[in-house]
Homo-oligomer: A and B are copies of this chain.
């Protein structure tokens, strides 16, 4: 296929490049006979208007950048799936960037996405969940926000107003704690999550307060942090099972940690929930596939993604949007706790 440019079309039609551009971008009226002549040449050469060149003219790229912490934890692809469906309806293309929650990768991608003139950004994970985020990293996002609308999912930039969509993870943790307490559990552990992450701290606070509100004692040795992986869940459960005095139930930072924890308990011959009840968080599609099926909290992952795109699109259209959108979590009771 030959490659032809607006210059070639202008030459062949004997008009200026500006006229061809007006026809392509529909930015100003062009005499019908001229328009038809140009259209015929475009058709003849199967000319594909160059989106890059067109972006420079009308300043619209139709692109939204998505910073994404981890494509192997199903929760995030589920959020992304929701975002994608919404974006497609609105005519945007999502540009997904896997940051592995690494701050320098985030900076690289932020830079690269701004250079490519995305019309908006969705930010998940990494610095927006860091308990002590260095000022320079916060400032980087704040500066970009002055030029391009940004929506944060389940995170924040302390001290700076920004547009956010989140599930109430504090409430979600309360729901699951209350469920376990209602089932008669008096000794409940907490597994997983990194100590520097706001999500972990929020859930931990809800855990402690619910214990206290129910006159249940908080025991340091029953709270074991680590990360967000299955292997972490296994390791932490193994540690817990060596204690002379162990809890009868554990809540986990997410479904992955819960799956690892269940596996470790089962491999030591324990029965779930009879010997120890286990609960997850997120309600990824894995939760219901487990044996036993996992009790968990739905964050409405798809809806988080859809909402983020919808808010971003309103911001791009310069509409007024409220800063914070909170989704209510939902307790999903399955076999692992009853």
A50 on the interface (CB 8 Å rule)? yes
Kindly state the separation between the CA atoms of A93 and B97 in the bound complex, as whole angstroms. Answer: 8
User: A52-82 CB contact bits vs B (8 Å, 1 = yes)?
Assistant: 1101100001000000000110100110110
Query: Closest Cβ of chain B: how far from A81's Cβ, in Å?
Result: 6
**Residue from the list B71, B84, B115 in contact with A77, Cβ < 8 A:** B71
Assess A52 versus B61: contact at CB under 8 Å? Given A147-B1, A289-B230. yes
A24-64 contacts to B, CB under 8 A, are 48-53, 55-56, 61
Do A112 and B98 have beta carbons less than 8 Å apart?
no
A324 on the interface (CB 8 Å rule)? no
Do A259 and B289 have beta carbons less than 8 Å apart?
yes
Q: Is the interface of A mostly helix, strand, loop or mixed?
A: helix
**Residue from the list B53, B78, B143 in contact with A56, Cβ < 8 A:** B53
Stretch from A186-194, A199-207, A237-245, A260-268 that touches the partner: A260-268
Do B95 and A81 have beta carbons less than 8 Å apart?
no
Kindly state the separation between the CA atoms of A116 and B51 in the bound complex, as whole angstroms. Answer: 5
12 sample A-B contacts, Cβ–Cβ < 8 Å, listed by A number: A1-B143, A1-B146, A1-B147, A51-B112, A52-B115, A52-B117, A56-B56, A77-B77, A80-B98, A84-B98, A93-B109, A263-B291
